[in-house]
Structure 1
Amino acid sequence: MQPVALGANPPATFYRGAGRIARFRNLPAAGQTYPEDWIASTTARFGTGREGGAPADGMTVLPDGRPLADAIAEAPERWLGPGHVARYGADPTILVKLLDTGQRLPLHVHPDRGFARAHLASPYGKTEAWVILDAVPDAEVFLGFRRPVGGDELAGWIAGRDSAAMLAAVNRVPVRAGDTVLVPAGLPHSIGEGVLLVEVQEATDFSVMLEQDGFGLDPATALLGLPRDRALACVDRSGWGADRLSGLRRDRASAGSEGIAGRPGVARLFPAAADEFFAAELLRPDPISVLDPGFCVVVVDAGHGVLEPEDGPAVPVAGGDTLVIGYGSGQCVLRGSVTAIRARPAPMPS
Structure 2
Amino acid sequence: MRPLRLAANTPRSFYRGTGRIHRFRGLPVPADAYYPEDWVGSTTARYRSAPAGLTVLDEGRTLAEEMAAEPVRWLGPEHVARFGPDPAILVKLLDAGERLPLHVHPDRRFGRDHLASPYGKTEAWVIVDAVPDAVVHLGFARDVEPDELTGWARTQQIAPMLAATNHVPVRRGDAVLVPAGLPHAIGPGIFLVEVQEPTDFSVLLEREGFPVSESSAYLGLGMDEALACVDRGAWNEGRLADLSRARRDARQGRQGVERLFPEQADEFFAAERLRPDPVSDLDEGFSIIVMLSGHGSLRYAEGTLPITAGDTMVVPFGAGRCELRGELEAIRCRPALRA
Counterpart of 2:116 in structure 1 is 121
Which residue does the alignment assign to 1:319?
Answer: 309
Distance 2:248 2:171 in 1: 15
* AA matched with 1:279: A
Please say if residues 266 and 281 of structure 1, whose CA atoms lie closer than 8 Å, have aligned partners that are also in contact. Answer: yes
Kindly state the Cα deviation for residue 30 of structure 1 after the two structures are TM-superposed: 4.5
Is 2:322 aligned against 1:294?
no
TM-score when normalising by structure 1: 0.94
Give CA-to-partner distance per residue, 1:15-40, whole Å, 9 cap, x none: 00001111211222343742000000
Q: Which residue of 1 aligns with 2:333?
A: 343
Deviations along 1:59-95, whole A, 9 cap, x unmatched?
0001221100000000000000000001110010100
Equivalent position to 1:205, from 194, 200, 205: 200
Residue 348 of structure 1: how far off its partner (Å):
3.1
Give the match for residue 52 of structure 1.
none
2:106 corresponds to: 111
- 2:151 corresponds to: 156
Contact 1:106 1:211 in 2 (8 A): yes
Distance 1:176 1:257, change over 3 A: farther
The ranges of structure 1 where at least 4 consecutive aligned residues each deviate by more than 4 angstroms after the TM superposition are 254-257
Shift of 1:255: 8.1
Query: Which residues in structure 2 correspond to 1:151-230 (within 5 Å)?
Result: 151-230=146-225
Q: 1:32 to 1:42 in 2, by over 3 A?
A: same
Query: In the alignment, which residue of structure 2 is the partner of 1:35?
Result: 36
Distance in structure 1 (CA, Å) of the matches to 2:129 and 2:335: 24
Q: Which residue of 1 aligns with 2:139?
A: 144
The answer to whether the 8 A contact 2:21-2:93 is kept is yes
Residues 62, 255 of structure 1: alpha-carbon distance in 2 compared, 3 angstrom cutoff: farther
User: 2:64 aligned with 1:63, yes or no?
Assistant: no
Cα 1:111–1:30, aligned 2, differ >3 Å: closer, same or farther?
closer
CA contact (8 A) 1:158 1:211 kept: yes
Deviations 1:208-227 (A, max 9, x none): 00001101112221100001
Match for residue 307 of structure 1 among 298, 320, 326: 298
Distance 1:334 1:160 in 2: 52
Indicate conservation of the 8 Å contact 2:247/2:263, yes or no. Answer: no
Runs of 5+ unmatched residues, structure 2: none
Moved more, 18-27 or 316-325: 18-27
Aligned to 2:67: 72
Distance in 1, Cα, partners of 2:146 & 2:326? 53
Aligned residues: 338
CA distance in 2, matches of 1:32, 1:337: 34
SS at match of 2:38: strand
TM-align CA RMSD: 1.3
Q: Among the aligned pairs, what percent are the same residue?
A: 60
Secondary structure of 2:64 counterpart: helix
Separation in 1 of the partners of 2:152 and 2:305? 52
Quote the Cα distance in structure 2 between the aligned partners of 1:123 and 1:167: 31
2:252 is aligned with 1:260: yes
* 1:279-315 C-alpha deviation (Å, 9 max, x unpaired): 000111111111111110000010010001112x210
1:105 is paired with a residue whose SS is: coil
User: Is contact 1:264–1:286 with CA below 8 Å preserved after alignment?
Assistant: yes
Q: CA deviation at 1:167?
A: 0.1
- 1:345 maps to a residue whose letter is P
Q: TM-score, normalised by structure 2?
A: 0.97
